[in-house]
Amino acid sequence: MPYTAPVVSYSATLDGTYTALTGIQSVGINRGRRRFQDPFNQTTCVIELIPANSYTVPLEVGQFVDVRTSNSSSARAFFTGRISDVERSFAIPFNSVTGAAPADRITITVLGAVGTIGQQGTGGVLGFAGDARRAIQDLTNTVAVHLDNDGVAINQFNDFGVNVTVPADSQEPFLELINSCLRAGVAFMDDIDMQRTPVNSKNLEVNAYRTSSREWTFSDNTTGSNIFKYTNIKYLSGAESAFDEVIVSGTPSLGSTATANSSNPPPFNTLQQKTLLNTFTVLQNLAQYLIVTQNETEITPFVISTNTMVADGIETKTYMSRGGAGTEWFDQVVGAIVTINFRGTTVRALCEGMSGSFYPDHANFEFYFSPFIGAAFVLDSATLGVLDTNRLGYP
């Protein structure tokens, strides 16, 4: 399908009237993370445009912006969020008769739901004890962000199956507390498209999940349905990609850490993971799980670059998942399972994050990967394995 530049629209309220912006020069989007050991950082979108002579509704911090295939709430979204910064730059020449200034620019920075959580302060009085995913829900509710808890038929995505404790007097930022819960569940987090409709009086939404249902293939010599070519592939070997010792810490009240080592002799390349797990046995199980999954035995690309000129339709793989009980509930680019063909070898990998740059005539993308064996266990899954049959599970 031919590439069509996305439409950037804005509104004073989430469920208000959206006006499409003109003169869009570029749209840059970042979602997810680069490596498995990284925390999930703020989701961001930077939009550069040639300003119009005037705006019926002036661009202001706090307004809602979405980047979609069209200016419609039902159109698929690449990014949604709220304006955090508006920068106006003026340049010469300026035509005093027409008011035109071709080199003038407006740069808009938009934060998604995860990005907005990252702006919040310390946790304050919380005091939650229970399943790690429900702890995330408690944390997001505190900062007026909805955690998608529909799709109840997909039971393996409702809870993580491990308990954590969020200290009542925690002074850590909300996003760090959420990352500690995600590490406990070996899980992902990404923004959700609310389709311009508030949920439970909240205007932003995220999802936390073990893995995504989205799959596709990158190939260096084949194209076809759900198979895309790439322009560059990078491998990374070293201290940031493979580990032979894992140290996992739990909640402060537990007062202990768990350690797991590979069969390699010291000195070790150590992965340290901070969680809010409240049971030492589970802490130790997580350390053992991570030493197996992160002591890389199959060489996996770190990053793949491509664009819409060589990979027709690849932009559809970066659509945001839409909330609710439908089939897209956990259909995310972050956590997607990707098959990669390179010079006669085939590996499977997990997409940890992506960055995209959209222009009027094409779009460029980078996708970041970790070994597929790092995927969290899903009960009786045709893709991820069947219990006691062919897949290591945690917890």
Segment 163-191 mean pLDDT? 94
Which position has the higher pLDDT, 154 or 202?
202
Q: Mean pLDDT throughout 199-216?
A: 92
Higher per-residue pLDDT: 155 or 67: 67
User: Does the pLDDT at position 239 exceed 70?
Assistant: no
Domain count, the chain: 3
- Inside any domain, residue 225: no
Instruction: Please provide the size of the chain in residues.
Output: 395
pLDDT at 380: 53
Helix, strand, or coil (residue 108): strand
Residue 326 burial (CB < 10 Å; 0-12/13-18/19+)?
A: exposed
C-beta separation of 275 from 183 below 8 A: yes
Query: Which residue among 159, 183, 209 closes a domain?
Result: 209
- Asked, as a colleague might, if the bond just before 395 is cis with ω within 30 of 0, I would say yes
Structure tokens at 95: 């035509």
Under the banding of pLDDT at 50, 70 and 90, the label for residue 155 is very low
Is the same domain home to 21 and 81?
yes
Residues 126 and 114 in one domain: no
What is the rounded average pLDDT of the residues 73-96? 91
For the segment 21-32, the average pLDDT, to the nearest whole number, is 97
Q: Is the pLDDT of residue 157 over 70?
A: no
Residue bearing tokens 């402060």: 252
Higher pLDDT, 4 or 96: 4
pLDDT in tens, 291-301: 888 776 567 88
Domain assignment present for residue 259? The answer is yes
Query: Residue 220 falls within a domain, yes or no?
Result: no
Q: Is the pLDDT of residue 152 over 50?
A: no
Has residue 385 got a pLDDT over 70?
no
Query: What is the Cα–Cα distance from 189 to 334, expressed in whole angstroms?
Result: 7
Q: List the one residue out of 53, 43, 46 whose CA is nearest residue 25.
A: 46
Instruction: Report the distance separating Cα 359 and Cα 316, nearest Å.
Output: 15
State the Cα–Cα distance between residues 43 and 368, nearest whole angstrom: 15
Task: Give the per-residue pLDDT at 136.
Answer: 94
Q: In this structure, what are the phi and psi dihedrals at residue 133, rounded to the nearest 5 degrees?
A: -70, -35
Segments forming the whole domain that contains residue 247: 243-295
pLDDT tens, position by position, 261-306: 987 888 888 999 999 999 999 999 999 888 888 776 567 889 999 9
User: Are 43 and 20 within 8 A, CB to CB?
Assistant: no
Query: Is residue 60 assigned to a domain?
Result: yes
Going by C-alpha positions, the residue among 283, 258, 255 that lies closest to residue 164 is 283
The reply to whether 34 falls in a domain is yes
Question: Considering the domain boundaries, does residue 360 fall inside one?
Answer: no
Q: What are the pLDDT digits (tens) for 334-360?
A: 999 999 999 999 999 999 999 999 999
Cα–Cα distance between 121 and 131 in angstroms, integer? 23
Type of residue found at 231: T
Token pair, residue 336, equals: 């997607």
Structure-model confidence comparison of residues 69 and 393, the more confident one: 69
Whether the per-residue pLDDT at 393 is higher than 80: the answer is no
Find, among 9, 29, 35, 30, the residue nearest to 21 by Cα: 9
391 falls in which pLDDT band (50, 70, 90)?
very low
Rounded distance between C-alpha atoms, residue 376 and residue 384, angstroms: 8
Residue 384 has pLDDT above 60, yes or no: no
Residue-wise pLDDT for 89-110, tens only, equals 988 877 777 666 778 999 999 9
**CA nearest neighbour of 190 among 62, 337, 63, 353:** 353
Q: Distance between CA 389 and CA 195 in Å, rounded?
A: 40
| Residues 74 and 102 grouped into a single domain | yes
pLDDT for residue 153 is more than 50: no
Phi-psi group of 46: left, alpha or beta (phi > 0 → left; psi -120 to 50 → alpha; rest → beta): beta
Pair 286, 272: CB distance under 8 Å: no
pLDDT for the residue 390:
37
* Residue 73 belongs to a domain: yes
pLDDT tens digits for 109-151?
A: 999 999 999 999 887 788 999 999 999 999 999 999 999 875 4
Report how far apart, in Å, the C-alpha atoms of 368 and of each of 4, 32, 37, 38, 234 are.
Answer: 24, 9, 12, 12, 10
